[in-house]
Amino acid sequence: MARDLAWALANSDLIHDRDTLDGAIARMAQPIADDFKGSVPLFLTVMHGGLPFAGRLAMEVGALGVDLQFDYLHATRYRSGTTGGELTWKHRPATSLKGRRVLLADDILDEGHTLRGIVQWCRDEGAADVRIAALAVKRHDRCVEGVCADYFGVDVPDRYVFGYGMDFQEQGRNLPAIYALTDAALAEL
């Protein structure tokens, strides 16, 4: 049964509010600026979920004096569902990755299957260095070996999370906080 965003919010816990997320993103910027100082990395936003986070992170990094070249990609395993399948490319960056330092900006690192495919594609395209910045990292023991966030903002529980780029049935990506459905609500879906 399809549920709307109001139902999801009524059946969720607030995990991280806007101030917490804004502070986490600001803290992420310094190690990124330190690591990329003296270069202009290719900053690839992973659409759609990474958009709110990437915009905020880019401004924080820019405030620290590091220029970024922007492009984006859209690869998904979910296609509006709640479980992943095969990686599907909807858009690949137009900018050449050959010899470039690449910073991927995504909303969440869950198990890492999607990001593993994206990182491998970047390497296959000749990227010299590929790093991952994720707003949230889901804590569990199902992570793909070798895939981790080089920079991350907050931990989230092993639950269905949404907000700040992450969706609930294609809704709520623009919520300025992260919520997690209760186990009872998830059982109703």
Q: What are the residue boundaries of the structural domains of the chain, listed by start?
A: 5-188
Residue 103 CA to residue 81 CA, distance in Å, equals 27
Place of tokens 């593993």: 116
Model-level pTM?
0.92
Per-residue confidence (pLDDT) for residue 50, from 0 to 100: 96
Q: What percent of the chain has pLDDT over 90?
A: 84
Domain 5-188 has what CATH class? alpha beta
Cα–Cα distances (Å) from 3 to 49, 90, 183, in that order, read 20, 26, 15
Residue 92 CA to residue 41 CA, distance in Å, equals 17
Per-residue confidence (pLDDT) for residue 78, from 0 to 100: 63
The whole-number average pLDDT for the span 103-108 is 97
State the average pLDDT for the chain: 93
Per-residue confidence (pLDDT) for residue 141, from 0 to 100: 82
The token duo for 67 is 């220029």
- Among left, alpha and beta (phi > 0; psi -120 to 50; other), residue 164 is left
Per-residue confidence (pLDDT) for residue 83, from 0 to 100: 54
pLDDT band, residue 31 (cuts 50/70/90) = very high
